[in-house]
Structure 1
Amino acid sequence: MKLENFKTMWGFEGNFEIACIEAKEAGFEGIEGRAPLDQDQRDYWKQCLEKYELAFIGEIVTGGDFVPLRHHSVEEHINDVATGINNSLELNPRFMNCMGGCDAWSEEDSIIFFKGAIEIAESFGIEISFETHRSRSLFTPWVTKRMVEAVKNMKLTLDISHWCVVCERLMDTELDTIKAIAPHVHHFHARVGYAQGAQVPHPAAPEYQEALLSHQECWEIAWDSQRAKGMNIITMTPEFGSDGYLHTLPFTNVPVADLWEINTWMAKTENTHFNDYLQKQN
């Protein structure tokens, strides 16, 4: 098994080639992000990915925004999946990560969405993985467990930092549920949350060691499942981000830490963690 880290485009400001250079220099295997709507920009992204020999994971956001607009229907969310895949295909994505659905839906509507989205992805011949995310259909571990029981071919992007906020506790309190959904985990978003927020100020800080270890315990459970299935490549995107996630000093709005430094620290730490995990299996 091999762990491959991807650089998130969330929170990055600047030229895409600079993003690729940063990813390459930091030892990342690729980029994860939403493909540009503009054709010229997509062409440019493709050139840069090929130039720096980087893989790509495409992102889909359904419902009109990162927090879904409440008036968007299930059908509109499904249509967004088709649009997002079609917009990403020329960048040759490994798979699509989808932030989809809505927490306010009935579970019946969420099931309709997931089945419809998977059917569309299959028609394009590409895998789709659904992100566990607050404000979305997979906003708690227990709802997620019921969803994968109802949609048995469903793949998950595991981002448990969101669940820490929704549940107001670390997820090592819910290991039975984590074990139940683990066979469906396809991809990881490696951000460390805590009981009162989706992103600790810095995961290296000793005051957040308990939160880091809690996340790592859950990731190992999913790795166990992936190992049992014979997966050779494990993909992970360190996804500490901006947009209210990154803590700032009062009255100044100055970030308390550097976002890229945090994400590179997370990648290096998880490389070490993963290697240690593999050694324990032998």
Structure 2
Amino acid sequence: MTVQFFCPRWGQEHETYDAFCRKVKDAGYDGIEAPVPDDEREKEAMMNALSRYDLLLVGQYYQSFEKDFQQHIAAYEKHLRNLMEAKPVKIDSQTGKDYYSFDQNKALFDLAEKLSAEYGIPVAHETHRNKALFSAHNTQSILEQVPQLSITADFSHWCTVAESLLEDQADALALACRRAIHVHARVGHEEAPQVNDPRSPEWERQLNAHLRWWDAILEHHRERGASTMTVTPEFGPLPYMPAMPYTREPLASQWDINIHMMHLLKQRCR
């Protein structure tokens, strides 16, 4: 099985698409994970850079801002279609709201499934705070009721919501690992969704917990004969990245940490 690694656009928005994609290619990634601009000139610049540097795209939906459900689902369809027309290998979607009802969130999942079938592009719904899949226990219930649902595994969020490393939610984790088709490789801890530096020894326990979960996802894909798996090392910039008070100086380099995580996971995938 081939594991493809994607670099997040998040935190690198100050770079032009060409400069960003050149850096990504030189660093050894297979592609980028990014939203697709609505502006046609920006979109053309993005697609040209991806083609120039022979990079793949995981499209990213995060714009779940509307409280009113009818406005929300209309915007959701617009954003998903914009992403799918860029022909990404898959879409990571921060779907729904934690305060929407099951039926409302399921209507969003059903719409994504319909569009996925129309365009032939899989959608992975992200396990993200504030969204439909905000916690381990809630996601377990949804996955049991929606057996076709696929997810992006970002378990750092669940650690924060549960204020634990999910030691007492093994069944929920096992089910989530079986349904994950994309991974956000960020290490969270009991009080926040991102450790300041996963290379630092004080985070060894948290890092090892996440590595076990990611190993389980990859092993499941191997067992079912999948040809590829996609991973985005997704440590973020401020305010995800802790910083010094007053100066707001980041405690570590987002870029360097994500490259470190890519190399660490490449070694484990051999």
TM-score (norm 1): 0.91
Letter of the 2:47 partner, please give it: K
Q: Which amino acid aligns with 2:78?
A: T
Quick check: 75-84 or 50-59, which moved more? 75-84
SS of the residue corresponding to residue 91 of structure 1 reads coil
**Aligned AA for 2:118?**
S
1:46 corresponds to which residue?
47
Task: Please name the residue that 1:241 is paired with.
Answer: 236
Note if 1:156 corresponds to 2:151: yes
Give per-residue Cα distances to partners, 1:107-164, cap 9 Å, x unaligned: 2322222122222332233211100000001001111111111111111000000001
Distance (whole Å) between structure 2 residues aligned to residue 44 and residue 236 of structure 1? 24
> What is the RMSD computed on CA atoms of the aligned residues?
1.5
3-state SS of the aligned residue for 2:97?
coil
Aligned with residue 205 of structure 2, among 195, 205, 210:
210
* Offset from partner CA, 1:57-107 (integer Å, 9 cap, x none): 11112422xxxx4x231x333323321232223432001110110011222
Kindly report structure 1 stretches of 4+ aligned residues shifted beyond 3 Å: none
CA drift of 1:42 comes to 0.8
The aligned runs of 1:224-239 (5 Å cut-off) are 224-239=219-234
Are 2:1 and 1:26 aligned? no
2:8 is matched with which residue?
8
Q: How does 1:65-144 map to 2 (within 5 A)?
A: 69=66, 71-73=67-69, 75-144=70-139
Once the two structures are superposed, residues 30-78 of structure 1 have per-residue CA deviations (whole angstroms, 9 ceiling, x without a partner) of 01100011101111111111110000011112422xxxx4x231x3333
Task: Read off the aligned partner of 2:164 and give its amino acid letter.
Answer: R
- Aligned partners of 1:62 and 1:78 also within 8 Å: no
Cα distance in 2 for partners of 1:187, 1:272 equals: 18
Check if 1:171 corresponds to 2:162: no
The aligned length equals 269
Per the TM alignment, residue 183 of structure 1 is displaced from its structure 2 partner at its CA by 2.1
Alignment match, 2:64: 63
Tell me which residue corresponds to 1:279: none
- One-letter code of the match for 1:262? I
CA separation in 2, counterparts of 1:89 and 1:198?
Answer: 29
Structure 2: gaps spanning 5 or more residues: none
Q: How many Å separate the matches in 1 of 2:125 and 2:145?
A: 14
* TM-superposed deviation, 1:172: 4.6
5+ residue gaps in structure 1? 276-282
Distance across 2 between alignment mates of 1:86 and 1:185: 22
Does the 8 Å contact 2:7/2:32 carry over to 1?
yes
Aligned mates of 1:80, 1:5 — CA distance in 2: 29
Task: For residue 22 of structure 1, report the CA deviation from its aligned partner.
Answer: 1.3
The whole-number CA distance in structure 2 between the counterparts of 1:190 and 1:172 is: 19
How many Å separate the matches in 1 of 2:9 and 2:87?
A: 17
The answer to whether the 8 Å contact 1:59/1:84 transfers is no
Counterpart residue type for residue 126 of structure 2: E
> What amino acid is the match of 1:60?
Y
Distance 1:171 1:142 in 2: 10
String of CA shifts for 1:171-212, please: whole Å, max 9, x gaps. 354322211222211000000000010000001100001111
1:257 alignment partner in structure 2: 252
